[in-house]
Amino acid sequence: MQLSDAGLLKTDLFIGGRWSPSNARYDVIDPATGQTIAEVARATEESVDAAVTAAQVAQRKWRDTTATQRRDALAGLADALLAHEADLAAILTAEQGKPLAEAAGEIRYAAGFFRWFAEEARRVYGETIPAHRPDARLLVQRQPVGVGAAITPWNFPSAMIARKLAPAIAAGCALVLKPAEDTPLSALALAELVARADIPSGLFSVVAGNRDDASRLGTALCLDPRIRKLSFTGSTRVGKLLLEQCASTVKRVSLELGGNAPFIVFDDADLEAAIDGVMVCKFRNSGQTCVSANRIYVQAGVYDEFTSRLHERIDALVVGPGADAGSTIGPLITTAALKKVEQHVTDARSQGAKLITGGKPHQRGGTFFVPTLLTDVPDSSLMHSEETFGPAAGLTPFNTEAEVVQAANDTPYGLAAYFFTTDLARSWRVSENLESGMVGVNTGLISTPEAPFGGVKESGLGREGSRHGLDEWTDIKYVCVGGLGQ
Ligand code: ADP
């Protein structure tokens, strides 16, 4: 990895504003090569305790800063991310695998959260309420929640942190982060930029660890009464566990969990736009996003044409290491992820799905998988009940709008949903009838810092990004002033 600022490649714990070495370390692997790229320090329960102690001290100072100071700090972080975009993207691609252009896009997206919440920091408005008696005045203030904890996934190693850290800082909170075991280097690079910024030591700490450490560190964060909020992005299984653990201290909890996004193409759709939508929604990040199209329903009248045009586009993808300039699709994160995609393809075929292209590991070996297209994937298949989280698109034909909306909603998940139509009345009807927190109409790309990201049903609690993302980091305080003597 060639970095112009080698100081961004950090491998120690970042606690209380200091880099703390540790003898206990674990290997971080480049998924494109299987080689170790760094040995990162493993945190313990004591590290969590020290981080929370420092966070409390820093937060008491930070909550008393003006909104303008917090704005300036966040805007400075946004600038710092952009100034180091190439290095941060190189680190991200090395540990996560996505093509460099996508990694650079993620850094800009992460910077976007710092920029957005810099602006929102000055709009943490309160309310006055017409009083219930003449001698009183009723006020509502929004105050910082306090010290928060974040647990983040590997698929967006920078942006998923930014969208928790930026609103926390904007609201006047501190944050202790446990990043995903596969991708701690992006988190530590961000910590280095925070260390260089005008932000109190201890306001942000990073406690990394391997998969064996995850549950111990998670439990320490959930049970600590000084932590008043947990923000988690990851699987529904772990989210439920953390929600239970947070019950003992009644923490505020935001959860961004798994999805099972339906992607519906009606006969009246602009097919080229729908194919562009599937390509970005299904194959970006090798299909490893919680808003990836998972079940692709195509109406009978355009099913054959859609299949053949999508087939051409899929075969044009270039599989290779993210660091190679020509690659448009990188490796999967781990062997387990590759096995899951294989299992989904095998299961769908055993239930009658037809393989149009791909369907097997790539000849490059490792965790590369050939971009895949299947047709006639039944609703009983694993591809329809679980996130495939890989570059395998499965098409399912349908006849009527009522039938497809019912099928789309027939899942415990409700994160994102997409559909393509040129019928105005249908666009309103279907978007209102889909049970999901987010809907893309005639687009496969919906994420942006200005908009509320989050799900319904078992896809989560709360929203990130937008002005609603800041609400997650503030508590409402009602003040009743009496005795005003009228
Ligand atoms: P994925 O399957 O995509 O890796 P996970 O939900 O397993 O999703 O992981 C998301 C984050 O949750 C990671 O930071 C991981 O280390 C963490 N994690 C996994 N298991 C636990 C656990 N038992 N307690 C706390 N955190 C956990």
> Read out DSSP for 396-420?
EEE--HHHHHHHHH-SSEESEEEEE
Q: Which mutation among 161, 224, 238 tests ligand 1's pocket best, with the greatest number of atoms within 8 A of CB? A: 238
Residue 214 Cβ < 6 Å to ligand 1: yes
Q: What is the 300 CA–ligand 1 centroid distance (Å)?
A: 40
Q: Is the CB of 181 under 6 A from ligand 1?
A: yes
152 lines ligand 1 (CB under 6 A): yes
The CA 234 to ligand 1 mean position distance, Å, reads 6
Q: Which of 254, 233, 223, 110 is nearest to 178 (CA)?
A: 233
Atom of ligand 1 nearest to the CA of 233: 10
**Which residue out of 192, 290, 464, 472 is catalytically annotated?**
290
DSSP, res 255: E
* 238 close to ligand 1 (CB < 6 Angstrom): yes
194 Cα to the center of ligand 1, angstroms: 24
| Cβ-contact 344, 383 below 8 angstroms | yes
Burial of 86 (0-12, 13-18, 19+ CB in 10 A): middle
Per DSSP, the three-state class of 40 is strand
Selected catalytic residue, list 102, 106, 181, 256: 256
**What is the whole-number distance in angstroms between the Cα of residue 211 and the centre of ligand 1?**
8
Q: Ligand 1 centre from 153 Cα, in Å?
A: 7
User: Looking at residue 1, what is its pLDDT?
Assistant: 84
Over its C-alpha atoms, the chain yields an Rg (Å, rounded) of 23
Backbone angles phi, psi at 235, to 5 degrees: -75, 155
Distances (CA, A) of 363 to 93, 319, 321, 333, 370: 21, 10, 13, 17, 8
Instruction: Tell me, yes or no, if 290 is annotated catalytic.
Output: yes
Helix (H/G/I), strand (E/B), else coil: 125: coil
What is the crossing angle of helices 401-409 and 424-433, to 10°? 30
Bridge partners for 440 per DSSP: 418
The single-letter DSSP state of residue 387 is: -
End-to-end CA distance of the chain: 72
Which residue bears the tokens 């049903």? 457
**Cβ 210 under 6 angstroms from ligand 1:** no
pTM of the model: 0.98
Task: Please work out whether the CB of residue 131 comes within 6 Å of at least one atom of ligand 1.
Answer: no
* pLDDT by position in tens, the chain (length 486): 899 999 999 999 999 999 999 999 999 999 999 999 999 999 999 999 999 999 999 999 999 999 999 999 999 999 999 999 999 999 999 999 999 999 999 999 999 999 999 999 999 999 999 999 999 999 999 999 999 999 999 999 999 999 999 999 999 999 999 999 999 999 999 999 999 999 999 999 999 999 999 999 999 999 999 999 999 999 999 999 999 999 999 999 999 999 999 999 999 999 999 999 999 999 999 999 999 999 999 999 999 999 999 999 999 999 999 999 999 999 999 999 999 999 999 999 999 999 999 999 999 999 999 999 999 999 999 999 999 999 999 999 999 999 999 999 999 999 999 999 999 999 999 999 999 999 999 999 999 999 999 999 999 999 999 999 999 999 999 999 999 986
Do 284 and 250 meet the contact criterion of CB atoms below 8 Å apart? Answer: no
166 lines ligand 1 (CB under 6 A): no
Q: What is the pLDDT of residue 486?
A: 66
Q: How far is the CA of 207 from the centre of ligand 1 (A)?
A: 14
Report which protein residue has its CA nearest ligand 1's atom 15: 180
Residue 458 Cβ contacting ligand 1 at under 6 Å: no
Pull the structure tokens for residue 29.
Answer: 């692997």
